[in-house]
Amino acid sequence: MNKGAQTRAAILDHAVAIAGVHGLAGMSIARLAGVTGMSKSGLFGHFGSKAALQRAVLETAAEQLARSVLGPAQREPTGEARLRSLFSRWLAWIDADERPGGCPLLFASIELAERPGELRDFLVDHQEIWIDRIRQMCQKAVAEGNFREGLDTRQFAFEFHGIGLGFNFARRFLADSRALTHANTALDRLIAAAS
Amino acid sequence: MNKGAQTRAAILDHAVAIAGVHGLAGMSIARLAGVTGMSKSGLFGHFGSKAALQRAVLETAAEQLARSVLGPAQREPTGEARLRSLFSRWLAWIDADERPGGCPLLFASIELAERPGELRDFLVDHQEIWIDRIRQMCQKAVAEGNFREGLDTRQFAFEFHGIGLGFNFARRFLADSRALTHANTALDRLIAAAS
DNA sequence: GCTAAAATCGCACGAACGTTCGCATAGTTC
DNA sequence: GAACTATGCGAACGTTCGTGCGATTTTAGC
């Protein structure tokens, strides 16, 4: 890896963390330069614009999510087991200490919900794909007989997603120690109703 | 009402809307002055600091929520009916056109999740009370025999809240037309399991 | 080890930010 | 209507924002 690419990756690691705390808009180049030990202009040169930096942050976060949540889950056996694996890895990703603010993509989605533009489009695409992945896994569980025939898989994905959002809120904002138990219980109930 | 209080209220109405789109940090005094037709300094004088303005915005939003969601629900008969009323009014509040960005308190909670301070404390208090209200209504439904004895009311409140978050996300961010149906189905399932 | 390219820096810019101030005007009270 | 206060404005402050540019250092290929 080039020196440039190397530096760029290091910058983005810090940037994801900052964006998780202060949001994409609150992630200023001066602050980012401070924590990376670079000059503003030196850092800026890697991206060319603030928007490009924000875009790179979202792409980095999406890659990290794919690598540490979706990827491992897809190596599990299909059906209910894979769904459960995805769920627990997703919660762990949200709760990870090294990434303050929980899931940066969730934060950015709320932040940009009413602000049309390239960044928002990227996020909508990502989140729609994410929810559809859940639906597909659910569909697979139906096909394999884990879940009952005729199950509304879209409804399942909606509720699955809602539990994750509730966990993100309870854990990161309210610092509720019971959040994990509640989320797991909710998933058990969801799966039981689907079986 | 004084001229001052009147103007202040008008400012805050606009401020809640702007905060719902751009967040508390992105709600600049210049922008707010623009939509209210005032000068920056004239507007600023009503609050004395940006932080005080932000605080007033949160208090205004909390009052609006209490007036249009919690209050009416508490005039319904207790038990399951009141919970259902609270739920549908909550969804309507999230989906209201005149308040872009959904629930401004939800947005602010995510925004300030990792930024300790007076504003965050206010929000944590508010959200804990909100979730506890759900729990209390659930408890009442148990006492009245709508719900089964021994029901975990905290768990119920967690799931109830998660459905609302899922609806907020699907409706405001993904613009999913099926969100309302999904949320209502999820609530039915939650209540059926509690009965 | 030389050289071209890439990376980084210091510096400066215009714009927007929150905030302050003195002054005019509008509202309220008698 | 006079006296007083509350309200609002315009101009300016110092700071921070994203961005551009020329100079300088570091890296990579021969």
One digit per residue, the tens of pLDDT, for chain A of length 195 reads 788 799 999 999 999 999 999 999 999 999 999 999 999 999 999 999 999 999 999 999 999 999 999 999 999 999 999 999 999 999 999 999 989 999 999 999 999 999 999 999 999 999 999 999 999 999 999 999 999 999 999 999 999 999 999 999 999 999 999 999 999 999 999 999 999
Residue B88 within any structural domain of the chain: yes
User: What pLDDT was estimated at residue B3?
Assistant: 84
Buried b (16+ CB within 10 A) or exposed e, A118-157: ebbebbbebbeebbeebbebbbbbbeeebbeeebebbbbb
Asked whether residue A27 is assigned to any structural domain, the reply reads no
CA distance A58 to A143: 34
Is the CB of A37 within 7 Å of strand C? Answer: yes
What secondary structure does DSSP assign to B20-54, as a single string? HHHHHHH--HHHHHHHHT--HHHHHTTTSSHHHHH
| CA A157/CA A90 separation, integer angstroms | 14
What pLDDT, on the 0 to 100 scale, is given for residue A78? 94
In a domain? residue B126: yes
Does residue B34 belong to any structural domain of this protein?
Answer: no
Whether residue A35 is contained in a domain is answered as no
Rounded to the nearest angstrom, the gap between the alpha carbon of residue B41 and the centroid of all alpha carbons in its chain is: 30
What are the pLDDT digits (tens) for B147-164?
Answer: 999 999 999 999 999 999
The interface residues of chain B toward chain A in range 107-166, judged by CB-CB distance below 8 A, are: 107, 109-111, 113-115, 123-124, 127-128, 131, 152, 154-155, 158-159, 161-163, 165-166
**Secondary structure of chain A: what % helix, strand, coil (to 5)?**
75, 0, 25
- CATH number of the domain encompassing residue B118: 1.10.357.10
Is A27 strand, coil or helix?
Answer: coil
- Bases along strand D below 7 A from a protein CB: 6-12, 16-22, 26-28
Q: How many domains does chain B have?
A: 1
With bands split at pLDDT 50, 70 and 90, how would you rate the model's confidence at B4?
confident
**Whole domain around residue B108: which residue ranges?**
49-194
In a domain, residue B28? The reply is no
- The answer to whether B186 contacts A100, with C-beta atoms less than 8 Å apart, is no
The alpha-carbon gap from A1 to the nearest alpha carbon of chain B, in Å, equals 34
Residue B183 in domain: yes
Q: For residues A55 and A47, what is the distance between their CA atoms, to the nearest angstrom?
A: 10
Question: Exposure pattern of B38-75 as b/e (b: 16+ CB <10 Å)?
Answer: beeeebbebbeeeeebbbbbbebbbebbeebbbeebee
Q: In strand C, which positions have an atom below 7 A from any protein CB?
A: 6-12, 16-22, 26-28
In a domain, B79, yes or no: yes
Distance A160 CA to C15 C1' (A): 45
